[in-house]
Chain A
């Protein structure tokens, strides 16, 4: 599993969902949690992480947001050579086949469909970590 000191960025325009994700992460022992309310406000935080050589070790991001959607933030992250392999968990309330295919094509680590329980959240994080860990 991700180390407890992993820097995590939670991106969601709904404060309620940011709180739910933060609550789940805190219960799993994570403390380095930052929040952004959409992709456009997340990107400068990600850039600071790159510039200070302290990049985020995990991004948990909603799909449907104003200004910059989760899928667009994912593509931006994957296109940046220094952070292209950042574990990226997309959270969505929709989960239609076309959307999932688009996320997989864009290189998502995994996706989480709302509503989700704490145990599902935890197992998704575990799956993302396994995928990101060297074999």
Chain B
């Protein structure tokens, strides 16, 4: 059973920064990881969630965006301006998490974690919260961008 420590977290943080930089030409800076013990001030309007499964553990990771940040990212990534999160744009959150997950999985599996392939799902709603299927602590990592803040959340059972 892995710990939610730096070795486990960093590939997801690095993967997030790298994916946004390369695929969206968007700079993001990671803040300090902390336990999710309060509702973040920034609203969450779209999130992508992916299961973390290996023979030794299960968990989930979510990437959560306020609308304004997500739309700015999509504009950079697709070269199209949108004012609302359409069904078609929801796919973009999945794709971003899919790429981040792929990068982190590669690094972690080189260290013997044996994380399996998984497909992201999308959660939509105004000002929503993401619930992970675990009673264990959930770690949140905030990221700062020129358009505002977004988060990744990691939970292990």
B99 with A114: CB separation less than 8 A: yes
Interface size on B, residues (CB 8 A): 23
Does B128 touch A at the CB level, under 8 Å?
no
* Given A93-B99, A95-B106: A16 and B78 interface contact (C-beta under 8 Å): yes
The 4 closest A-B pairs by CB, nearest first: A93-B102, A115-B23, A115-B22, A16-B95
Query: Chain B interface secondary structure, helix, strand, loop or mixed?
Result: helix
Bound: A17/B102 CA distance, A: 15
- Size category of the A interface is 10 to 19
A115 with B18: CB separation less than 8 A: yes
B22 with A16: CB separation less than 8 A: no
Bound: A114/B94 CA distance, A: 13
A sample of 24 inter-chain contacts (CB < 8 A) reads A14-B94, A14-B98, A16-B77, A16-B78, A16-B91, A16-B94, A19-B80, A20-B77, A23-B78, A92-B102, A93-B98, A93-B99, A93-B102, A94-B117, A95-B102, A96-B106, A114-B23, A114-B98, A115-B19, A115-B99, A115-B103, A116-B23, A117-B22, A117-B23
* Given A114-B23, A115-B23: A14 and B95 interface contact (C-beta under 8 Å): yes
